[in-house]
Amino acid sequence: MASETIAITGTAEIGRPISERLHDWIVTVDHKKLGILYIVYALVFLVIGGIEATIMRIQLIVPHNQFVSPQVFNRMMTMHGTTMIFFMVMPILFGFGTYLIPLMIGARDMAFPRLNAFSFWMTAFGGLLLYFSFIGGNGLYGAGNAPDVGWWAYAPLTSRAFSVGHSTDFWTVALLVSGVGSIGTGVNFIATILCMRCPGMTLGKMPLLAWLNLVVGWMVLFCISPLTAAQIMLCIDRYLGGHFFDTQAGGSAVLWMHFFWIFGHPEVYILVVPAFAFVSEIVPVFSRKPIFGYPIMVAATIGIGFISFSVWAHHMFTVGMSSYGNSFFVFTTAAIAVPTGIKIFNWIGTMWGGKIQFRAPMLFCIGFLFQFLIAGLTGIMLGAAPFNWQLSGSYFVVAHFHYVIVGGILFAVFAAFYYWFPKMSGRTYNEVLAKWHFWLFLIGFHMTFDFMHIPGILGMPRRIYTYEPGRGWEIWNLIVTIGVLFQIAAILIFVCNLLWSLFKGDPAGNDPWDAWTLEWSTTSPPPEYDFATLPAVKSRRPLWDIKHPEDPDWKYE
């Protein structure tokens, strides 16, 4: 196998002073180091965003609680949403993409390594700007404050009259800056996947992870740009006295909603398609079968990519659009369930009749399958305009999208963590702790987000900092908050497992899972140049072909 290494500087690493090694990380343009930087950065924000969520849940545990003030609650709500979407989920998915794409397509780096570093640092500075608002939000005169306009920042909340100080500007500029980084990542993903594939890897022989990230790259270009444009307009309104979203001068608050959700809904698919990519790589390996319906998977992903740009206004049914507008967005929302459903069937088809190994990555993938299905079903419910009029703005919506992002995306991210941890670190993780992590997180997740649907149906509005007793919401809020404890315990186990395995884990070897894609053909962790000799492939499972020369895949594909 092509696991030979070229001795360049390998052994010199150990004796070098820490300052030099840190300097290496800061100036690096290596896709593997940048990928790990993205992931570590995202994990830090996962903890920060998690603390903000916990503060909100403690505040809501009983009626009339006084744990935090309404102002602080609004800030926590805004920062939690913004952090988790822009500075946790997106960077972690970009991190895995940046790390894995070149390895999986047999390249030595991304198409534009320096653009790659630029993108990471833009994202990183965006996060710093957002959190600088805690001390600089009022312009450093006194105690600062964080933005409190919600992660959607509807007009006229963001106008000068209602958002004094600079907190909203920090929010705007943070998203503008990190958006530029994301667009750079999108450009880089597309150029890498189209232009850097190893000999023999035609588009039809690419691993699904590469295919799905290609679609994500395109979606980033067309979805983050509207947000960038809208943020520029908001800056013009706030600093140059423009009137884009100023209703008193004829501007429109609804236009902001349209611009925001034209970004906002494709964004959901930008987040979930890489999660699909992880599942599409992990499920076959642990079912010991090739992926079922490869071309259909690709077609479904491209279908999602297109349809996702035509569903945004289902976030706005209660605004009062025309009945034609409502019907159109109900139809498109129902339509996008079709390619998504195809994918779920394909994963089940892959598992069907396979010799399933219930290791931690597979457990998380199975959790993903069930939870994402339920999340999709409540999504269809909310996509029906009459039902939406009843439940929009309630905790049912909060439960729905957390089911997508936590139950779907985060579970897939954990699966990816355990699956690729041996490749990234060169060591195996502790399987017992990983299973504890899975079960505790599963219990915590379901306690929190299953029971969150019920107060929503009972009429509990979202975004409120406290509520009256005697409406039947108390018990549900109590259970929801208790579930958070299980999740915190699971995350602690996860972090401990990660740190312990990083230093004390057993050596993993090149290919601990007996997998089939190219990243497992090089050493763990891979050398700086990835592959000593560029591989050449003949089928979708190049390592299967090597391991089974008597029955290679390329005879059948």
Partner 1 sequence: MSSAAITRSPGESEWILPSRGRVGMFSLIAAESAIFTIFVVAYIFYLGKSLSGPMPKDVLETPIFNTVCLLSSSLTIHLAVRALRSARVNAFGLWWFVTMVLGSIFLVGTGREWQHLIFEKGLTISTNLFGTTYYSLVGLHAFHVTVGLMGIVLVMIFALLGKMEPAHSDRVDVFSMYWHFVDAVWVVVFTVVYVIGR
Residues that bind partner 1 (CB under 8 A): 1-2, 4, 111-112, 115, 183, 186-188, 190-192, 194-197, 199-200, 217-218, 220-226, 228-230, 232-233, 236-237, 240-244, 249-252, 255, 259, 262, 521, 533-537, 542, 545-547, 549
* Residue 122 vs 488, nearer CB to partner 1: 122
Compare residues 386 and 549 and give the one whose CB is closer to partner 1. 549
In the complex, minimum distance from the CB of residue 315 to partner 1, in angstroms, rounded to a whole number? 17
CB of 203 to partner 1, least distance (A): 11
Q: Which residues pair with 394 in a beta bridge?
A: 461
Are 138 and 557 in contact by the 8 Å Cβ rule? The answer is no
Q: Which is nearer to partner 1, 222 or 345 (CB)?
A: 222
Residue partners of 270: CB distance under 8 A and separation at least 6: 90, 93, 216, 219, 220, 223
| Cα dihedral: 87, 377, 210, 8 (round 10) | 50
CA-based diameter of the chain, in Å? 75
What is the residue type of 298? V
Residue 245's alpha-carbon distances to 69, 122, 229, 414, in angstroms, are 29, 27, 13, 40
For residue 365, which of 449, 281, 279 has the smallest C-alpha distance? 279
> Which residue, 2 or 72, is less far from partner 1 as judged by CB?
2
Quick check: 282 and 207 in contact, CB under 8 A? no
Q: Which of 350, 229, 378 is nearest to 281 (CA)?
A: 350
The residue (of 381 and 534) whose beta carbon lies closer to partner 1 is 534
Give the nearest distance from C-beta 255 to partner 1 in angstroms: 6
Q: Please, which residue, 232 or 377, has the CB nearer to partner 1?
A: 232
Q: How far is the CB of 29 from partner 1 (least distance, A)?
A: 15
Print burial letters for 106-139: b (CB count within 10 Å at least 16), e (below 16).
bbbbbbbbebbbbbbebbbbbbebbbbbbebbee
Which residue lies nearer to partner 1 by CB, 1 or 338? 1
Q: Are 246 and 384 within 8 A, CB to CB?
A: no
CB nearer partner 1, residue 462 or residue 538 = 538
Please, which residue, 135 or 534, has the CB nearer to partner 1? Answer: 534
Q: CA dihedral defined by 458, 460, 466, 468, rounded to 10 degrees?
A: -40
Residue 548, burial from CB neighbour count under 10 angstroms (0-12, 13-18, 19+): exposed
Give the shortest CB-56-to-partner 1 separation in angstroms.
Answer: 32
What is the closest distance, in whole angstroms, from the C-beta atom of residue 194 to partner 1 in the complex?
5
Residue 297 gets which letter from DSSP? H
* Spatial distance between the Cα atoms of 176 and 195, rounded to a whole number of angstroms: 28
Cβ 111 to partner 1 shortest distance, Å:
4
Burial 68-95 (b: 16+ CB within 10 A, else e): beeebbbbbbbbbbbbbbbbbbbbbbbb
Q: Considering the complex, what minimum distance in angstroms separates the CB of residue 241 from partner 1?
A: 3
CB of 183 to partner 1, least distance (A): 5
For residues 12 and 195, which CB has a smaller minimum distance to partner 1 in the complex? 195
Residue with tokens 């000593």: 532
Taking the complex as a whole, the smallest distance from the CB of residue 537 to partner 1 amounts, in Å, to 7
